[in-house]
Amino acid sequence: METGKSKIGILQSIRKRKTLFPAFAGMTDCTFSDQSSPAELAEIFKKNLQAAGADIVELKTDAVEEYIASTLNVALDFRQPEIIAEYPADCPLSKLNKIEQAIVQGNFGVAENGAIWVEEKDIPHRIIPFITQHLILLLDARMLVATMQNAYQRICLNETGFGVFISGPSKTADIEQSLVYGAHGAKELTVLVNG
């Protein structure tokens, strides 16, 4: 595939025509974040995540494992080394497609939209949060930021091959604008907020 010539052509075409604009000076103030206390952020996060169609379960940190053992006993817990070993990166899709419930560690949440940041270091195969029928994300209650602008200050894209913000279960409104959960990804999202 010889596209070197096209690259040079495109860049020349750009150089010939580009007009100089002043460089972008800086970020806008995240006023939202400045005004909200941690308790307020938690409330805003909860409200927005529910609006996105997710269920939230608030637990004390020491009650999490008990809750998982009693309520989510068929879920695959992707924090456990033996589960990780069972679903490696070269795991056949037919096996991954049978996952009903998957528990995945979330890194932090964004209050303004209920999104939770998930990185590939926490999942042995990148497709797991999408292919599972029901996704359960764990989140430390203290790990909240106000806006997406704060969120991108916290993550480092250069340290992960794949990362995703997830806000709610998969959804579509392509048929007459009727909202339906479970288009292609997980049909349900439960967030276990602990602490």
Tokens (6 digits) for 184:
């292609």
Q: Which is nearer to another protein, 17 or 62 (CB)?
A: 17
Q: Where are the beta strands (DSSP E) in 34-143?
A: 55-59, 76-77, 101-105, 109-110, 115-119, 134-140
Q: Which is nearer to another protein, 63 or 180 (CB)?
A: 180
What gap in Å lies between CA 52 and CA 97, rounded to an integer? 24
Q: Which is nearer to another protein, 72 or 189 (CB)?
A: 189
For residue 141, the minimal CB distance to another protein (Å) is: 20
For residue 74, the minimal CB distance to another protein (Å) is: 20
Tokens (6 digits) for 144:
């909240």
For residue 66, the minimal CB distance to another protein (Å) is: 30
- Looking from the CA of 159 toward its CB, the CA atoms found within 13 Å total 7
DSSP string, 10-49: HHHHHHHH----PPP--PPP-HHHHH--HHHHHHHHHHHH
Q: Which is nearer to another protein, 54 or 103 (CB)?
A: 54
CA distances to 27, 84, 118, 153, 182 from 129, in Å: 32, 13, 9, 24, 13
For residue 13, the minimal CB distance to another protein (Å) is: 4
Q: Which is nearer to another protein, 132 or 194 (CB)?
A: 132
Tokens (6 digits) for 155:
């993550």
Q: Which is nearer to another protein, 67 or 165 (CB)?
A: 165
How far is residue 80 CA from its own chain's centroid? Answer: 20
For residue 63, the minimal CB distance to another protein (Å) is: 28
Task: Tell me how long the chain is.
Answer: 195
For residue 114, the minimal CB distance to another protein (Å) is: 7
